[in-house]
Structure 1
Amino acid sequence: MRFTLPPGPPITFKARLHDARTATAIGRWLALTFLVCFTTGVLSHFLQHPPGWLADHLPSRPYWGYRLTQGLHVVSGIAAIPLLLAKLWAVYPRLFAWPPVRSVSHALERLSVAVLVAAALFQLFTGLLNTFQWYPWPFNFVPVHYAVAWVVMGALLLHIAVQWPRIRDHFTLDSPGTLSLPEADGPNRRQLLVGVAAAVGAVTVTTAGQSVTALGRLALFAPRSPAYGVQGLPVNRTAAAARVTEASLVDWHLTVHGPRPFTLTLEELNALPQHEVTLPIACVEGWSKSARWTGVRVRDLLERAGGGPGSRARVVSLEAAGAYRVMDMGRLYAQDPLTLLALRLGGEVLSLDHGYPARIIAPNRPGVLQTKWVGRLEVV
């Protein structure tokens, strides 16, 4: 049996909340969250994958910098989800506009909107799944997420440019329209916006506690609670996942390459001057927590190997495979007195999951670059 649509225009939407004023009001909030999310996301990407010309200029201070920016990245991305859904609700009747295409320019405009909506939905929901470390797709998340971010921002700027006359007409409170609508139209615009703001506040407060310590008790829906983990600190990549075992560490020693190469056993490392710092682990998934670390300054090891005050470092992990098995550290990080080859966490010997016998801890650094199970350190 075949079903055909009756001739003529489709459904008419009478509710006045599906209008440019409502869409503009929500769009202002959505644009702000997208801007924060995009800016902090680009910063995170360059901290993780710095081009050669930038590596020596990435700042190691403030030591809590990455904790703040990545927390903002994840929080703004989660907050953007209800805002995007509300925005789509306000404008979806335009999908049924008749005729669907009025001209070539109108077709291009609709195509740009389709790209913007598809890219934004893809970006926000894949980013949300990343916070849970769940990747039900065949592609590499990091480069695709980074590339689509630029598509979203390009499409958003084009959309704002095309719609600017309408946005300008409805941007301020004294613009045409009214906040009070007839009762027959259901909730008025003010009530709708209050409801959207409440939804954004709810998802923010109940997830931000994974990176904002003061909100930790309210983090009911946060993907990760920093309050739980081995030695009081969560673990993303375990020793089992990295295929590092206690048996493989029986004859462990640190090899330091440079003009004056040398090796150190764990006992010899413990005999060197020890320094204690309090630094956060801040992961790309958004969670972070400060901890007390004890170990040997990386710059002291580089100096002993013949590295000058401008030398970089390359760190090689004992893990069998992984995207961050080899980590390069720019000059400012390598020479910062807070950057340690850590041997203890909270006054205790590192657990195997936290990188025993030695790991890197550095200020203002993504967690994936705080290399665990260090086997080799090189002067670059």
Structure 2
Amino acid sequence: MRTRIPPPRPPVFRGRLHDARTATAVGRWLGAAFAVCFVTGLISHYLQHPPHWLADTLPARPVWGYRLTQGLHVATGLAAIVLLLVKLWTVYPRLFVWPPARSVRHALERLSVAVLVAAAVFEVFTGLINNVQWYPWPFGFIQAHFAVAWIAFGSVLLHVAVKAPEIRAHWSRRSAGTVALPARDAVDRRSLLLATGGAVGVVTLTTVGQSFTPLGATDLLAPRSPDHGPQGLPVNRSAAAAGITARSVAGWRLEVEGPRPYTLTLDELRALARTSARLPIACVEGWSMDARWEGVRVRDLVERAGGHPGRAAARVVSLEAHGNYRVMHMGAEYLADPLTLLALTLNGEPLSLDHGYPARIIAPNRPGVLQTKWVHRLEVL
């Protein structure tokens, strides 16, 4: 007689914390974190890669604008890792719902959730790895992170639309769909939410000091300490990494191209009227730091070449032979701002080679990757 093997049965989950109320409570926080990440990510992307119609109108003020938005972007992105893991834990039993698709609508709903989860995991973990400048993948981080952000955003909107009745029913303890829990389960839920909030607080406290310098003493887990580096300021790309040596800058000249082109030696550049400004340098990885810069206003160099600040744009070219940002476009708003400098000193000392000696760009409200180092040519457009 042949023994009949019963068909496999999906696991049964009885934990009350894997319920809609807990998922909704965590989802509120996660949704807020994703919203901040999405908006600040768009700001960062379009500051770095503006479309032609936007390039000349990007604002140069407030001077701390990019420092704030990118600091928020990275801080909320790190917090979202904790929230996403907890959210997935609360809903993972639904992965084992049987049958997997009860109808076409149900199949499409589950497919949309799969896309949402995949996009969210991709965004938070590639963002985390980017913070430490490690790129173990063959695709370009910037393009992929930006494209998947739109997929994640659209998936969140679709998910909220589909789940709106359930979310509304479990939004608060007084909501109509919320079932009263036994005292023990209610305590467990509060404990879970408190632990989640505490974990988010710890992650934030130990990383946000890289951009919010008053908390620099607690900056234990961030990949950068904003006051560590040459001349008290970090560098992401050193002179050695860029292939710049003392020999490379020997006999340096600044070439300014425009209606009235000219060339300046370093001594001639130093002899021009100089401006001093305290400006932050803010990196896309989240760290930022104020510093005292002194140099020649870029608008003065442009006027001397026959350009008109407020109407002219510029192309800035570095001595660096290779690199995604060796050529940088500067729009009219930045070019006209009196705080946009071709800097020669940092905190009262000549620039070190790692910080762009003999001259670099420093401008307000601008990503660090666009503060071009080792400048040797300025083209007035």
TM-score range for the pair, normalised by the shorter chain length: over 0.9
Distance 1:100 1:133 in 2: 39
- Distance across 1 between alignment mates of 2:210 and 2:370: 20
Counterpart in the other structure of 2:85: 85
In structure 2, distance between residues paired with 1:130 and 1:366 = 15
Amino acid at match of 2:104: V
| Counterpart position of 2:263 | 263
Tell me which residue corresponds to 1:99.
Answer: 99
Matches within 5 A, 1:152-301: 152-175=152-175, 176-177=177-178, 181-183=182-184, 185=185, 188-301=188-301
- What residue is the counterpart of 2:377 in the other structure? 376
Partner Cα separation in structure 2 for residue 99 and residue 354 of structure 1: 60
- Check whether the contact 2:258–2:307 (CA below 8 A) recurs between aligned residues: yes
Distance 1:164 1:5 in 2: 42
- Shift of the alpha carbon at 1:6? 4.7
Deviation at 1:99, TM superposition (A): 1.2
Counterpart contact for 1:357–1:373, Cα < 8 Å = yes
Task: Give matches, 1:115-154, under 5 Å.
Answer: 115-154=115-154
Unaligned segments of structure 2, at least 5 residues = none
Number of positions where the alignment pairs a residue of Structure 1 with one of Structure 2: 376
What residue number does 2:347 align with?
346
* 1:9 Cα deviation from its structure 2 partner: 3.7
Residue 172 of structure 1 deviates from its aligned partner by 2.4
- Matches of 2:54 and 2:250 in 1, distance apart? 39
Please state if 1:366 is matched with 2:367: yes
CA contact (8 A) 1:208 1:215 kept: yes
Moved beyond 4 Å, runs of 4+? none
Q: Does 1:321 align with 2:319?
A: no
Secondary structure at the counterpart of residue 277 of structure 2:
strand
Conservation of the 8 A alpha-carbon contact between 1:181 and 1:189: no
Contact 1:284-1:367 at 8 Å conserved across structures: yes
Tell me the TM-score normalized by structure 2. Answer: 0.96
CA distance in 1, matches of 2:375, 2:347: 19
Partner of 1:17: 17
Q: What percent identity do the matched residue pairs reach?
A: 67
Separation in structure 1 between the aligned mates of residue 187 and residue 97 of structure 2, nearest angstrom: 24
**Structure 1 residue 5: Cα displacement:** 8.9
**Letter paired with 1:73:** H
Distance 1:320 1:10 in 2: 59
Equivalent pair of 1:360/1:374 in contact (CA under 8 Å): yes
Cα offset, 1:173, TM superposition: 2.9
Shift of 1:97: 0.9
1:31 equivalent to 2:31? Answer yes
Q: Distance in 2 between matches of 1:113 and 1:10?
A: 20
Distance 1:179-1:131 versus aligned 2 partners, 3 A rule: farther
Distance of aligned partners of 1:165 and 1:186 in 2 relative to their CA distance in 1, 3 Å threshold: closer
* Residue pair 1:274, 1:295 contacting (<8 A) in 2 also: yes
Partner of 1:42: 42
Equivalent position amino acid for 2:284 in 1: V
| 3-state SS, counterpart of residue 55 of structure 1 | coil
